[in-house]
Chain A
Amino acid sequence: MRNIFIVAKNTFKLELRDKILYGIIVFALLYIFFELFLADLVLKELPMVKSFGLTGIYFFNAIIALFLGTTSFFKDVDRKVVYFILSKPVSRAQFLLGKFVGLCAVLLLTTAILGVAYLGLIAYNHGGFDALGLLAIVMQYLEMALFIAFALFVSTFSSSLLSIVYTSAVFFLGHIVSSLVADAQVIGITGIQYRFVQVFYYIFPNLEKFDVRALAIHNVAVPLTSFAFALTYAVVYVAFLLAASVWIFTKKEI
């Protein structure tokens, strides 16, 4: 267990020194502050300010998660830095899990920075403390953790470029999977084909459940069960992805 923490701490420190990451964070903060001007100019409206804020945080975090998840682990293996690590009493599982925890820690930091900026912005615009917005941000974070786990998973068997493609596909498809199933029913797909669609629906990451932005923006309460489900799904799916990643990585010849 301690090894996981050691790898995680190291990953966290190293990734934070990455210039690209810094660039993204700076952009994100600039975006938040640009919103201040936008808010003054045209959109003094709280729902509008909130919508830009929450969406912005989501996109920036997604870019960071995509970047970190697809490159961090892959680089370590590709550049053979793992030779030093795996020759020590550290198992491949511990290394992979440590990577995951470290990357989630980086994302926790970026989410916290952007989240605080966002909450400050809302308070400054006389919106008080946006508790629902905070909940939306927390649930977005769960989605990011799932995202990182998926990116790690594909990076155990694909190059960085392919990993980015696969993970981006999950990002887009993950939100519309249930619409696809509904569409299939409407179009009239039945039988074996429909079963196939259903199987795909259940196995593919379903990211809709993490999205409560629309509710938060329009001040509609989010039921506790929604949060409970999102958390459970994230935990279970992440566990699955990490287990699968370890399985692949253990078999890999380095």
Chain B
Amino acid sequence: MVEFSHLTKTYKKRNVVDDFSLAVDVPIFGFLGQNGAGKTTVMKMIVGLLQPTAGAIMLDGKASCDVASKRRMGYMPETPYFYERMTGLAFMRFCDELVGARGGNRTAHYEALLKRTGIYEARNAEVRTYSKGMRQRLGFAQALVGDPEYLFLDEPLDGLDPLGRREMKEVMLTLKKEGRKIFLNTHILYDVEEVCDEMGVIHEGRLLYAGSVKKFCAGKPLEEQFVATVIAQGKT
């Protein structure tokens, strides 16, 4: 279970994340929000790239940026940036070693993951030759390299063509079947409808709704509900 308690992040006197409290225990959870709503900031705080100004994030009772917790998670940043001169396979190995893999030849494992995300063919090519879609896929693959229980994916489908998006959504559903828990950030409402069990609406750093997708929609299209919620927030 992932618990956020009174999570706050302040930049220049502005609360980018504002007293965020939430407990999540479902297979796939989606953070939905406008660009700049604070989704990426929340995710960065989960994985320890940023420190909260106040509050805490717990992974099964332990701080999420503890070494032990980090070993159990995989993270994919929004717009992944790589060492351009590494090959896909070498990058997988590098990430694997950092998660704590010891010895042995894990090449088969990396190749399996690359196959899963559809970039096996390019495994020995340098990342600088990869297209935007290929980079997304590599970013996704490296998140899986340590066999994590939890996955935190920031805009994982960004830059993928329609077929690619379908493929990756299938992968996510397979991961769910394997018993892993996925958190994803997105601003694409359709994706939330398709794969998420529960969702959270973030706007201007605040959590406006958290719970089942169906309940949020209440019969109406998701988009309509979303816009209404956000506008209502703006009025208060």
Contact = CB atoms under 8 A, between A and B. Distances in A.
Q: When A and B assemble into the complex, do they touch directly, with CB atoms less than 8 Å apart?
A: yes
Contacts of A6: 94, 97-98
Given A17-B85, A81-B81, A87 B50 contact: no
Contacts of A17: 85
Interface stretch (B22-30, B67-75, B169-177, B221-229): B67-75
Given A14-B86, A80-B81, A81-B82, A86 B99 contact: no
A80 B77 CA distance: 9
Given A87-B48, A87-B75, A254-B49, A14 B98 contact: no
For B70, B75, B80, B94, which residue has the most chain A Cβ atoms within 10 angstroms?
B94
A89 B80 contact: no
A240 interface: no
A190 interface: no
A86 B97 CA distance: 13
The interface size bin for chain B is 20 to 34
Interface in B82-103: 82-83, 85-86, 94-95, 97-100
A159 interface: no
For A6, A84, A85, A254, which residue has the most chain B Cβ atoms within 10 angstroms?
A84
A87 B70 contact: yes
A124 interface: no
Interface in B30-66: 47-50
Interface of A: 3, 6-7, 10, 14, 17, 79-81, 83-90, 253-254
Question: Nearest 8 CB-CB pairs, A to B?
Answer: A87-B47, A89-B70, A83-B77, A87-B75, A88-B98, A80-B81, A89-B67, A6-B97
Given A10-B94, A84-B95, A87-B75, 17 more contacts: A3-B98, A6-B98, A14-B83, A80-B77, A80-B81, A81-B83, A84-B80, A85-B98, A86-B48, A87-B47, A87-B49, A87-B77, A88-B98, A89-B70, A89-B71, A89-B99, A254-B50
10 contacts: A3-B98, A10-B94, A17-B85, A83-B77, A83-B81, A84-B77, A84-B80, A84-B82, A87-B48, A253-B50
